[in-house]
Amino acid sequence: MFDIFKYEFDREHNSIEIGGEAMIFHCHHYITNIQRTILDADYIDSRPFIIGSAVQSIHNQLTNLCRDLNSIGDKKQMAEEVYKAFGYGLIDLSNMNENGIELYTSKSFFSKTWEMKFGKSAKPVDYYTTGYLIACLSVIYNIPLENIYGEQVSCMACGDEINHHSIKIGEANFSIYPAKTETQFSDAPKVKLNWEFEDKITETFLGAHANFVGDEQGFIRAFGVYIVRNQSDFINRLQFEFIRAMSEVAGDYGVTLGGELLMEAGHACGFFTYGGIMTSNEWKTYVQPYLTKKEDWIYGLLSLINTMGWGYHTAIELTQSRAIFRNYNDFEDMSYLRMYGKSEYPVHWANSGGFTGLMQLVYNTNLIETGKLASEDEFKKMRQSKIGYRTNMKYGISCGNEYLETEVYQLL
């Protein structure tokens, strides 16, 4: 029923939309890092906005995808197939009725990858699936979100044998947000990457968005990591609501501290996801033959990830000691504009952290020489070292600029 090939990649804006929602890929390193960052700030009540962020995007998407489906059975099938295709695992909605569902599953991206990354958790971690099921109940049975209560009762990341989500009629225990505006892309002229093999590599990987779908267990395993196809506004609202909550606690300092914490999740993504790409068979086959110097590894990586829905990445300057990266129509700024309007400060923590992680990866590890990615411990040591890279977020589209721009510079 759900066919990913129906949705074409927007080459002009380097994005893809499914069911009215902009879609992006993220790896388990980034997803688990950003969620733990938020949950570790136990002085803020994050659970309502983590679930609510999922509910809003999924509700909008499933409403559009199910619009022409007449039967409850077909709507359930659509929701199950979307969940699996996007890499979140497996759910069975056959027992859902107008009163809710007690759902049990042993295939959960969030529970599985949390334990892989951090070990056991003291509390359940699959808030996304709770939000997904709330949205399903609302869309399939036309029940207002205000009248649905949801929670995760057990979680494999906590050592339980299975994940159990309980969704029922009751007062909503999650944040409910107003409708979003339409995406307003910037048509500012792009400064191209100016690398002779850019188009060749981009064309090679342009179909990747259609090939990356959940396997028989509902997982997408690629580039040595687990990836998911996120609703962009889900993952970005987590960032924006976290910063809002931090500012309520600590004012401007909360914005600064929260941004640094979010950027660290971007560092991990840039390091481990980009490193996974650079050590994959696909990279060795289709990209590495065109690489002669270290800068080419960065150009090749940017050419590839411009197919992932994150906007158009380019490098204005690039040396080992300093780089200026730019992104046109980046996914974070687009999300902010849709949901909040103009921002007083740059909001592209994932992008900027990713750029910094990429510089560390290429210039401060032996990946190019050995073809092997550094370990978690080596990543931590490098991040704690006085010899590394720092980030200056210069411009953002949500601030009124035509593009995102970040300076990454080496500490000497």
C-alpha–C-alpha distance, residues 277 and 289, integer Å: 15
C-alpha Rg value of the chain to the nearest Å = 21
404: nearest Cα among 318, 344, 327, 309: 327
Q: What is the pLDDT of residue 1?
A: 85
Same fold, 4-169 and 198-410: yes
HSE of 370, CA atoms in CB hemisphere, 13 A? 9
Domain with residues 4-169, CATH architecture: 2-Layer Sandwich (3.30)
Torsion angle, CA of 50/53/57/62, rounded to 10 degrees?
A: 50
198-410: which CATH topology?
Muramoyl-pentapeptide Carboxypeptidase; domain 2 (3.30.1380)
What is this structure's pTM? 0.95
Cα 298 from Cα 309, distance rounded (Å): 18
Distant-in-sequence, close-in-space partners of 143: CB < 8 Å, separation ≥ 6: 98, 137, 169
Domain coordinates in residue numbering, the chain: 4-169, 198-410
Rounded Cα distance, 81 and 216, in Å: 11
Bridge partner residues of 313 (DSSP): 327
pLDDT tens digits in sequence order for the chain, 412 residues long: 899 999 999 999 999 999 999 999 998 999 999 999 999 998 999 999 999 999 999 999 999 999 999 999 999 999 999 999 999 999 999 999 999 999 999 999 999 999 999 999 999 999 999 999 999 999 999 999 999 999 999 999 999 999 999 999 999 999 999 999 999 998 899 999 989 999 999 999 887 777 899 999 999 998 888 999 999 999 999 999 999 999 999 999 999 999 999 988 888 888 888 888 999 888 999 999 999 999 999 999 999 999 999 999 999 999 999 999 999 999 999 999 999 999 999 999 999 999 998 998 899 888 899 888 777 777 777 777 667 888 999 999 999 999 999 999 998 7
